[in-house]
Amino acid sequence: MAVLAGKVVIITGAGRGIGLSHARAFARAGARLVLNDYGTAPDGTGHDPSIAQAIADELGADVALANADDVSTRTGVESLMAAAIARFGQVDVLVHNAGFVNDSPIPEIDDLKWAASIKGLLGSTFLTVQAVSNHLLARKAPGQILATTSLIGIHGSAGLATYAAAKAGIIGFCKSASMELKPHNISVNVISPLAYTRLTEPMFADVPNAAELLAPDYIADVAVYLASPQAREITGQVVDVQGPRVALIRSVQGEGVAPTGGDRWTAQELHDRWSEF
Ligand SMILES: NC(=O)c1ccc[n+]([C@@H]2O[C@H](COP(=O)([O-])OP(=O)(O)OC[C@H]3O[C@@H](n4cnc5c(N)ncnc54)[C@H](O)[C@@H]3O)[C@@H](O)[C@H]2O)c1
């Protein structure tokens, strides 16, 4: 069923892994596509424009435009938006999926590595969401925006502190964006995927059928739904997808406990009652 017929969708990181599955699934759903991929190595370095071109060629020039801009820069995002509008006249949906992992144990993180990770993951989310939402606001058009986080941004991971910081920041930024944009009929949701790709292949070396169990196509099915008119009212959500299992990620805060015998805590009472919090 062509649930996205008539929609113009930008997908970043569309040449590999989860983004490649997004591209094929959104094409099957009838969307016209701007397929962005800078063509980096897994650590975010390098540039290969043939990666975006290959998937655009596969899907055909009538529905897909290749774009190899770097979405971590404002000039790259401006160029991507200009190309999308020149080709299709408008943008209705953003799927910001581009990402990489460039991390080290904390003692070895230098300023350049920290900045590259924050800029490439969190900065690119800010720039693409701002550009697409500004475009939608100017058109007074409804729209749907998806960004990409990771369970590592929620739970942390030893050795992946810059990645975790950037991916956690994406959640805070997108929840705020969802609140600002809801009155304008623009939804903003975040997908937290787990899929077998070049980034995760080493983690699953001992799982013989990981490629099938965690196929990126599972993530794409959920992304198509969240970008579809049926899901228009869903916003501000963080959606975990691991193979066929889908779960909303909710934050949990205790009810709050007051001190006994006054309104100030002593160190001793905090210590004694820590398990109640
Ligand atoms: N694979 C997983 O299990 C998993 C888990 C959690 C989060 N994620 C996130 O999902 C997204 C996709 O991951 P993947 O596993 O498919 O990775 P991947 O390496 O297979 O694909 C990512 C693509 O993004 C592109 N890219 C990177 N930086 C870019 C930039 N600045 N501009 C444009 N394109 C750029 C790369 O060239 C690459 O083709 C990433 O944001 C990643 O952090 C993946």
Give the tens place of pLDDT for each residue, 118-142.
Answer: 999 999 999 999 999 999 999 999 9
Polymer length of the chain: 277
Split at pLDDT 50, 70, 90, the class of 1 is low
Active-site positions read: 163
**What is the 3-state composition of the chain as percent helix, strand, coil, each rounded to the nearest 5?**
45, 15, 40
Tokens of 81: 């938006």
Q: Which atom of ligand 1 is nearest to the CA of 40?
A: 37
CATH number for the domain running over 8-276:
3.40.50.720
Q: Is 150 in the pocket of ligand 1 (CB under 6 A)?
A: yes
Please name the residue that has the structure tokens 């705020």: 176
Asked if 148 and 190 touch (Cβ cutoff 8 Å), the reply is yes
Helices and strands: H and E segment counts in the chain:
10, 8
pTM summary value? 0.97
Q: Which atom of ligand 1 is nearest to the CA of 121?
A: 41
Give the tens place of pLDDT for each residue, 58-94.
Answer: 999 999 999 999 999 999 999 999 999 999 999 999 9
From 11, 21, 38, 155, give the residue whose CB has the most ligand 1 atoms within 8 Å, as the site to mutate: 38
